[in-house]
Structure 1
């Protein structure tokens, strides 16, 4: 196969960002490019056009490459849902809920086949594969059953670039230590080293880079300076990046930080709005005086609803609703805003019944069939007196049962309805992920919040909606400017 694999010395060193940059860079060079990650463990997921569920990072990389995301780009997705339990998704569909040890025992026998199938199917469709690893290839306790790092590199027979994060310290030790643990055949696959997240004068780092090349015999392809990245992150290690500090006049938006939070990338667009502060809440002492409370999605709605009551946050949310504040729920957060949640078959947890927050006139009944679908629709015009088109995707097992007075939030193009809205639009919820990615909807909602605080409207130039396309192009240029692309190209051609 023709491709390059991006591995790292640890989690969160920047593998996904570098892989995304390479996807866009090679696409701009005229190649047909596709991303691939054999196994992803993340609660940030995406639904393909055909209804398959994959990791969000591969959907982002496919978008950067200019192609449609498919389940072959991430054949195995693990979604933690409880203590040492994860939902295993294979080729976009539910496979089983497995305890960690049981999954490890079945990894080689049951998961390597789907990985190989997807890898070879994808390679037949494109010119270049940009393959991403997970964590580190040198985790001794996992190495024997690891299918996402060196085993994938061997299946694809591609060179590996090792990425290390200098911002966290110990970068030279992490590189040398990783190489020391690898088998000789695995080490031979690593053809280049990239130092990521550097702050300062790179010339001061040069003696260390010279030593590293001499010590390892592997070229340092370059040093990537620290960069604020506005692409959707992969997992909860990036949660604290979705925070902006409120000013005195800001709209104060509080996000509930559930133990099983999922798809928190829904809220990244809120960071870019001037005069808006976004912060996480996970304790009563964090509460403050928010203008808006948002309940995100969760992999375990019943357990996180119980947590909400135990933490005293349920009362706080109800107080905001009763004192003319704004309350919003997305997916699992929407389900919690209803009157009751019923899970007699233990689909989400061992809690068969729970009282919701009682803020929306819906009941939720959990079913084994998961709804994974891309959705288009029109937001209920009773919100602001106008219809606004939105698109997004749904990933949930909860089915809404509406009470008589319920008013849907969304009228879908297929004739279905979703979500609910009350209190003249102050309280609403939806299963739709991505609603805040819609510029028209986001602007109208922010203006509603500003109006309630007697703040002036934002002008066109004061309302920056970041272009994903420009972000991907910036990443590609970032790599061009700081890595030795002649050596990278030689690696791609098998000459590195």
Structure 2
């Protein structure tokens, strides 16, 4: 039996499609239905590794988590990762397929990849009761519609019932709803069964006249108004949600109390990838995370983190042009520096790219770690677990050295004689072989690792905060959070808010299912037996 299909479309990017899709996945799962997310084509530098060691968009991994199922490449068969210079790396079914320009992709490659999209969707539709599809950007981007495989063309392929979502927080929501539908073809408008307004703040009664007027104008019902939800610890789809630019440094009258928050500066690289690595740190009450691009912020920080990058050498050269390399090197003499994936490669001695995967030639790194990196054609993508190689961090003793995370990189790193590794890891697929990861500087002020998501492991993050605070003679954290529980609570809160706001009886009816209001309330959970 082919799965019933429900699709979330948006009037533009960043209207909340990804989180609304996650909420609907959680709601259908809570009502006992096997549900899976699907986005045929995703453009994002935030990615995740599946159990098989394949790469998909991070948003689809979150949606699978909300549905209580394991993430699969069928949920996101095409992932586009912008590489600069008007070109992008295209990942197809979890592996690098090629690097193309935007024009070449939209004019020729899309049709070539359409059968793969159809195959992936059909595989999900054969396995699940309901598939929740997510569109991309707006379905009314008329310059791209001819070769669109992620919005209305996908809706027709899946015979999906579509919910159009507008973001009132950005302004102009009624115009965007009307304009989107006006630009669709008559047959496309038939797929849109209704609309919803997202991220509403204030008195809903003031919105009511506008809702009634737009319903009359477009002849589609409003399924509800979803409130703006604060403090959700769930990752954003793209960098539009990254808090960069509003604040460039900490305030001048910095707190000098031993109980103050630990100041962590994350370098906001131009090709910043997997910025979700720091969501768990941002959730901790004893931490102040600042995404920054100034030497002043680096000088004020307790810990500087150089994050992952899609264009490692280009971002290294950008740091050099901004004087950030010198600021980080100076900081490392008396304080703490961490490199994640591409950030670790930048902290090494050299980065060589003989195949021109990202940048031709060899470039000198910051020389804070005794490592050298050579870019290769094959990408390493895998979930891993392991332990720290030593029982100290920043020269401070740690009592729990267990680690977990995922690797997504194309570099092969070699070590100078006598270099100290950061961790010993093995694949979560159960492989018995282990490999060494990362590096620690001789003075222990600096460490690097290939592990994305390393801070999501509660035990390591807590030990990291204890060690960094002890290094700076700060008191121990008064409160520590459990990240996985925070995420689960946020998913349930999101689902509950959406279920309260939308006409779920109508939405369930769209896909031929009956709806009965759940009695779980705010403590919603997945049915027994669903994967977490």
Task: Mark yes or no: TM-score above 0.5.
Answer: yes
Task: Note if contact 2:38-2:74 (Cα within 8 Å) is conserved in structure 1.
Answer: yes
Give the deviation of 1:211 after TM superposition: 0.6
The answer as to 2:358 corresponding to 1:355 is: no
Task: Note if contact 1:261-1:296 (Cα within 8 Å) is conserved in structure 2.
Answer: yes
Give the deviation of 1:288 after TM superposition: 4.6
The answer as to 2:477 corresponding to 1:458 is: yes
- Counterpart in the other structure of 1:330: 340
- Counterpart in the other structure of 2:262: 251
Inter-partner Cα distance in structure 2 for 1:391 and 1:242: 31
Inter-partner Cα distance in structure 1 for 2:139 and 2:414: 47
Task: Note if contact 1:272-1:464 (Cα within 8 Å) is conserved in structure 2.
Answer: no
SS in 2 for 1:467: helix
SS in 2 for 1:59: helix
Task: Note if contact 2:400-2:459 (Cα within 8 Å) is conserved in structure 1.
Answer: no
What does 1:381-420 align with in structure 2 at a 5 Å threshold?
381-383=390-392, 384-413=397-426, 414-420=433-439
Quickly say closer, same or farther: Cα 1:448–1:242, change in 2 above 3 A.
farther
SS in 1 for 2:351: strand
SS in 2 for 1:54: strand
SS in 1 for 2:137: coil
| Partner of residue 446 from structure 1, selected from 461, 465, 469 | 465
Task: Note if contact 2:233-2:283 (Cα within 8 Å) is conserved in structure 1.
Answer: no
Inter-partner Cα distance in structure 1 for 2:387 and 2:110: 46
Task: Note if contact 1:243-1:277 (Cα within 8 Å) is conserved in structure 2.
Answer: no
Inter-partner Cα distance in structure 2 for 1:287 and 1:427: 15
The RMSD of aligned alpha carbons is 1.8
Give the deviation of 1:386 after TM superposition: 3.8
- Counterpart in the other structure of 1:211: 213
Question: CA-to-partner distance for each residue in 1:126-183, whole Å, 9 max, x for gaps?
Answer: 0000100000000111111111000000000011000000011111000000000000
Task: Note if contact 2:135-2:151 (Cα within 8 Å) is conserved in structure 1.
Answer: yes
Task: Note if contact 1:27-1:33 (Cα within 8 Å) is conserved in structure 2.
Answer: yes
| Partner of residue 12 from structure 2, selected from 10, 13, 28 | 10
Task: Note if contact 1:242-1:278 (Cα within 8 Å) is conserved in structure 2.
Answer: no
Deviates more, 1:400-409 or 1:285-294: 285-294
Task: Note if contact 1:107-1:145 (Cα within 8 Å) is conserved in structure 2.
Answer: no
Inter-partner Cα distance in structure 1 for 2:246 and 2:132: 30
Give the deviation of 1:453 after TM superposition: 3.0
Give the deviation of 1:348 after TM superposition: 1.4
Give the deviation of 1:408 after TM superposition: 0.7
The answer as to 2:241 corresponding to 1:238 is: yes
- Counterpart in the other structure of 2:100: 98
Inter-partner Cα distance in structure 1 for 2:16 and 2:343: 30
The answer as to 2:52 corresponding to 1:63 is: no
What does 1:16-415 align with in structure 2 at a 5 Å threshold?
16-228=18-230, 229-240=232-243, 248=255, 249-284=260-295, 286-322=297-333, 324-350=334-360, 352-383=361-392, 384-413=397-426, 414-415=433-434
Quickly say closer, same or farther: Cα 1:203–1:130, change in 2 above 3 A.
same
Inter-partner Cα distance in structure 1 for 2:201 and 2:244: 18
Inter-partner Cα distance in structure 2 for 1:286 and 1:134: 35
Structure 1: stretches of 5+ with no match in the other structure: none
Give the deviation of 1:250 after TM superposition: 2.2
The answer as to 2:501 corresponding to 1:482 is: yes
Q: TM-score, normalised to structure 1's length?
A: 0.96
Inter-partner Cα distance in structure 2 for 1:284 and 1:157: 53
Inter-partner Cα distance in structure 2 for 1:93 and 1:265: 21
Question: CA-to-partner distance for each residue in 1:464-489, whole Å, 9 max, x for gaps?
Answer: 53532222111111111111111111
Task: Note if contact 1:251-1:277 (Cα within 8 Å) is conserved in structure 2.
Answer: yes
Task: Note if contact 2:298-2:328 (Cα within 8 Å) is conserved in structure 1.
Answer: no
Inter-partner Cα distance in structure 2 for 1:435 and 1:494: 40
SS in 2 for 1:408: coil
Quickly say closer, same or farther: Cα 1:66–1:494, change in 2 above 3 A.
closer
Inter-partner Cα distance in structure 2 for 1:446 and 1:433: 17
Q: How many residues align?
A: 493
Structure 2: stretches of 5+ with no match in the other structure: 427-432, 516-532
Inter-partner Cα distance in structure 2 for 1:333 and 1:190: 44
Inter-partner Cα distance in structure 2 for 1:360 and 1:52: 29
Quickly say closer, same or farther: Cα 1:132–1:179, change in 2 above 3 A.
same
SS in 1 for 2:20: helix
Q: TM-score, normalised to structure 2's length?
A: 0.90
Question: CA-to-partner distance for each residue in 1:13-43, whole Å, 9 max, x for gaps?
Answer: 0000100000111000000000000000000
Task: Note if contact 2:505-2:514 (Cα within 8 Å) is conserved in structure 1.
Answer: no
Question: CA-to-partner distance for each residue in 1:212-261, whole Å, 9 max, x for gaps?
Answer: 11111111000001012211221111111899978723211111111111
